[in-house]
């Protein structure tokens, strides 16, 4: 069985974008290290945007064009316990969840539930 390709959907513009990007990169690293899925971290475009800024709508269009390529979505709140930081709200991530629902692809709200699904595929 091939590893599923999983899109990480989490807050970006609501709250602190720097903390939100760091959170998603940390989740990406955890998933890649654990090796059960191929993670996709769309907030990496934050770094592209720093060097070559584009309108926000361009990034949304880019992300939405690629969503059909992925097997599922992991929707998480951005959290940084050391800073007592939690951001739950994200119109972008919520829109991505709706897109995955429309494609009849699974959405997970925890790494544990994602991994249970992966195990069920074996």
- Sorted by sequence, the CB contacts under 8 Å of residue 108 that are 6+ apart come out as 6, 72, 73, 74, 75, 114, 117
Domains in the chain, please, with CATH?
5-121 (3.40.50.10400)
Query: What does pTM read for this prediction?
Result: 0.94
d(CA 42, CA 113): 21
Q: What is the mean pLDDT of the chain?
A: 96
pLDDT single digits (tens) 108-119: 999 999 999 999
pLDDT single digits (tens) 72-121: 999 999 999 999 999 999 999 999 999 999 999 999 999 999 999 999 99
d(CA 46, CA 30): 19
- Dig out the tokens for 42 from the structure: 């769309």
Q: What pLDDT does residue 103 have?
A: 98
pLDDT bucket at 6, cuts 50 / 70 / 90: very high
Helices (H), 1-122: 17-34, 45-51, 56-66, 91-102, 111-121
d(CA 82, CA 90): 21
pLDDT for residue 52 is more than 90: yes
């Amino acid at each position: 069985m091939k590893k599923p390709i999983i899109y990480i959907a989490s807050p970006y513009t609501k709250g602190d974008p720097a903390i939100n990007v760091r959170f998603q990169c940390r989740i990406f690293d955890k998933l890649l290290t654990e090796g059960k899925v191929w993670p996709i971290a769309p907030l990496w475009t934050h770094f592209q945007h720093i060097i070559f800024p584009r309108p926000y709508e361009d990034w949304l269009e880019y992300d939405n064009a690629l969503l059909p390529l992925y097997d599922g979505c992991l929707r998480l709140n951005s959290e940084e316990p050391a800073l007592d930081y939690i951001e739950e709200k994200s119109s972008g991530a919520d829109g991505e969840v709706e897109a995955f629902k429309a494609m009849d692809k699974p959405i997970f709200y925890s790494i544990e539930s994602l991994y249970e699904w992966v195990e069920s595929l074996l």
